[in-house]
Amino acid sequence: MVWPNLGPVNSSMNRINLLRVIGICTAIVLALHACMTFYGDLIRPSFRASDLFSGEIPPDKAKLAAAGGLASFSWDGDLLANYAAAMAAGILHFPSIDAGGRASENKTVQAAIIAALKVSPIRPALWLTLGTLQAQTAAAVTPAVKMSYLTGAVPIDVAFSRVQTVTSGAAATDEEVKLLAQSDIRSALANRSRYEPLLIAAYVQATPQGKSLLLETTEVTDPKFNEILRRY
């Protein structure tokens, strides 16, 4: 008795089984991704980096805990960015009492911001948040501030905060940043009734290079306000 050659049949069955396994695994992965996305939408903090500079109150730590657990392995740019911004607002509004605690918190939040920017870098307010935290540790802030200019437009509150950051540190010595900062100063001058006292305060606290930047820009844009600054 001669048995039929079943080699081609077995080979076809193996390929079919392999395709079934691949299909099942793909379905599981897609289902998990959909669940994570849905859960991320539910727990994502509504607090954004721009809210940090407009005086918004960040969510409490209990609400951030769930977002933090998912953020550790998520690739959702909005989740990572909002979580990092809320963390930054927390330590800026309610800093630790001791210097060691503040330094540790600052380092942790900077790491969260950098992780978010690696996934979603087109976030000018978040770049400025990074620069603000770096300024507290005497680190170089110019690269982060420059990126905040190069990645898009910002609301006026963020623009003015950027003026403060630029004029109070070494960023005012960078020629490219100085050119970019002039637009922020002009935006603040366009809302002079609101920002005049804040611009004066920024001038008083500015470095010599920062003072020169403010004087040079206001001399062209608003000579009368330039005269006011020179009194200080």
**11-32 CB burial, b ≥16 within 10 A, e <16:** eeeeeeeeeeeeeeeeeeeeee
Residues 43 and 111 occupy one common structural domain: yes
The three-state secondary structure class of 164 is: helix
- CA 49 remoteness from chain centre: 6
Give the per-residue pLDDT at 137: 87
Tell whether 150 is covered by a domain. no
The whole-chain average pLDDT of the chain stands at 84
Percent of the chain with pLDDT over 70: 80
Tell whether 1 is covered by a domain. no
Domain stop point among 92, 112, 140: 140
Give the per-residue pLDDT at 183: 95
pLDDT at position 64 over 80: no
Residues 133 and 48 occupy one common structural domain: yes
Residues 44 and 96 occupy one common structural domain: yes
Domain extent at residue 221: 155-232
Measured CA to CA, the distance from residue 215 to residue 220 in angstroms comes to 9
Tell whether 73 is covered by a domain. yes
Domain stop point among 111, 140, 169: 140
What is the domain count for the chain?
2
Tell whether 86 is covered by a domain. yes
Tell whether 10 is covered by a domain. no
Residues 122 and 55 occupy one common structural domain: yes
Residues 28 and 94 occupy one common structural domain: yes
pLDDT tens digits for range 185-231: 999 999 988 999 999 999 999 999 999 999 999 999 999 999 999 99
pLDDT tens digits for range 15-48: 776 677 777 777 776 665 555 554 445 455 678 8
Tell whether 145 is covered by a domain. no
Domain stop point among 109, 140, 171: 140
Residues 46 and 123 occupy one common structural domain: yes
Residues 103-116, mean pLDDT to the nearest whole number: 93
Residues 70-96, mean pLDDT to the nearest whole number: 82
Residues 191 and 214 occupy one common structural domain: yes
